[in-house]
Structure 1
């Protein structure tokens, strides 16, 4: 399979995607809109998550459809951007009818990018609204945009040896259904090609010119740098046009973490808040079964991570140098 020609999450019928990238520093947010509503699930594996409206996605809870999912930079401050998404949806009459109003349901997750540039600049409600204004059915841009604008990878041995992360998307269509993913990769660990196991981006060697291979370095006894909890995090959305229940959507979100594990090492660490959402628009006439959908979800997620770092561009800001995958030899 040629990873370079995969599609994007907007290949899933019923979804739109848009970015806002802040011109003042590398940060931003990314929204996936489901104007007709989508069954949703979530699975949080990292130990330091920043999320909103995740409890209501439990199959035991009442609300069964969401209208958007937001991925954002800015750490917990960035959750403000979800308010702008709600305002955009409300203005178009989209939401759960509650008496005289419609309440849009907008789960969200954040990544930490506050050490890249001026930390006082982070996504807010205006940023979320702007991401909705930019949303379309076209394939979303990848790399240093939206929630991936300030993303970095390979920080396990210190930020001085890190590289530029980003946001990527991919999709696969089999048996009459499509599964797509979009992932903002801000991982503590390294990124690998899931097909070959080859390192693509991550912690660099002391001279900064090559990849260190964090897994092997740790096994040799090299100790990680002192790390602050929550200063990393990979967040994403996996989606399908197959009809699913809430319990099945939750399972799809859980299995998408297998894709993170195939493409990021180490993953789900105490310093990451790794969170994956799942959406099901139900536009396809039938489901081919959860076995196939789960396999596609893990694959699309892994490919989206790979594309995030392959699309990333190097960044130098305030003395911090973050080379991109294309600049460093494995």
Structure 2
């Protein structure tokens, strides 16, 4: 565009300078050529600063260490009369602000909590029905299931919450997790299944797996995506944890008996190392499984401070967040010995 403007500017100036008589003899300008001075351009680009790239390295959760309570987040906000019932939780880093987002079933709302200008602040987004599960779509967007309304709500986190859009679905979906590149895996009670949806709510595929001749899904209320793209399902109807491929193949099914048996599995997540954390609401435990679904230990118990745990997540700094349904707060634990650091600051 600059060269185009220059052409017309040169032509107008030339006509004015030489006059119509000279123009007839010498002719109009046929072209204007721009010759790039590469040395000047390179020097200018070397000195040009468009911004900074900040790389945040995730701190690995040390699952061999003993968890230590770091914080308790009270999710009650003004003018709420119903008891608190946090179901699911996740953490986002938005504009360098660590933001905890939780679904509150009894108060039919999604809430965010964060610290800004050294003050603890919150945002509340009311729903037209109780929200259950949530999943990250991007660094600042979430998808939330509202089963009673047959909808999935897309929420933007700024870190205050903004309703962006609503996906109307043909069924009531409870658990939800995002799959790359742009699909959702959702759980349903009737008929029990995990469906793969596009972002308009169309069912791309329905998964109702059998394991040893038995159906292994009944109440798939919590889902999570592993680092390898598989789907973890926590099912409190069949009291098992299932790992599925997006195509519907069973990678493993964890349903032990005896001391390690599950009684009411709820929230589930996987770490950057592939380890799996699942809560048991009835046994008051957070359980550590290997990537292949083998029991390691009860990483948190009632004696360690958890009662009726539901949703669970791990943030980029290696902190573990657990929803406590009967007590109402979110408890934050750490069991990592490494320091969080930010490096690779670069200029563009």
TM-score of the pair, normalised by structure 2:
0.25
Q: Which has the larger radius of gyration?
A: 2
Greater relative contact order: 1 or 2 (C-alpha under 8 angstroms, separation 6 or more)? 1
Bigger fraction of residues in helix: 1
TM-score of the pair, normalised by structure 1:
0.26
